[in-house]
Structure 1
Amino acid sequence: MTSVLFVCVHNAGRSQMAAAFLTHLAGDRVEVRSAGSQPADQVNPAAIAAMAEVGIDIAAEIPKVLTTAAVESSDVVITMGCGDTCPVFPGKRYLDWALDDPAGQGLEAVRPIRDEIERRVKGLIDELA
């Protein structure tokens, strides 16, 4: 089974939405993780609301700290603006998704980020198949 790790700075918005979409769309075909280099105290309320609009509940998720072990045990590592804080290991596939940071943004600003994440996740599933 392919393992995918989504990483952003706070693990409160982009990486949480991406992980939720991949889990929702790929089911048990892919192992999904998310983490942040500087995790926030809670998931962004606007991200929770934006995902609820498309029928995906991430309200119970908790931001997690990025660990070397999480990277080592993943086949694909997708970074979203965490810069040089993400450890790099040989033999892993790395993708960097340049996405606006939803931190401090309202629902109107988060919706297009959510939709772009969904589009990219669907493309990723096609690549992994």
Structure 2
Amino acid sequence: MLMRAVVQRVGQASVTVEGRVVGEIEGPGLLVLVGVTHDDTPEQARRLAAKLWGLRILAGEKSCSDLGAPLLVISQFTLYGDARKGRRPTWIAAAPGPVAEPLVDAVVAELRALGAKVETGVFGADMQVALVNDGPITLVLDV
């Protein structure tokens, strides 16, 4: 499988854990939900970061790298939920925390190495995400 991300162009976005804002960006920027499956690799994390940094979906067909725009990256195992059968999704395609967390961290580290300002959620926490989707523009990337 491929590492998956849902990318939204935002005017602002934040993530709150236990009533405290732990990550926040003011736009223009990107909110990125990242899902990891069992066989994803650090190379896929590197490619996803490069794709996000250069993705030309901001105003005027600009990218985060063009504008120095911030990204809010949040782990999201439910991107690999499967609801084809029955009414209750299964999560068997989602990687467990010990596999997924280092790869989400690798995406963040690679973005920062490219020069990005990156905010994050808290891996495995119950998070509340707020955003103003600009456009609206939402893409699903499989890298």
Compare relative contact order (CA 8 Å, sep 6+) and give the higher one, 1 or 2.
2
Q: Larger % of helix: which?
A: 1
Q: Larger % of strand: which?
A: 2
TM-score in terms of structure 2 length: 0.32
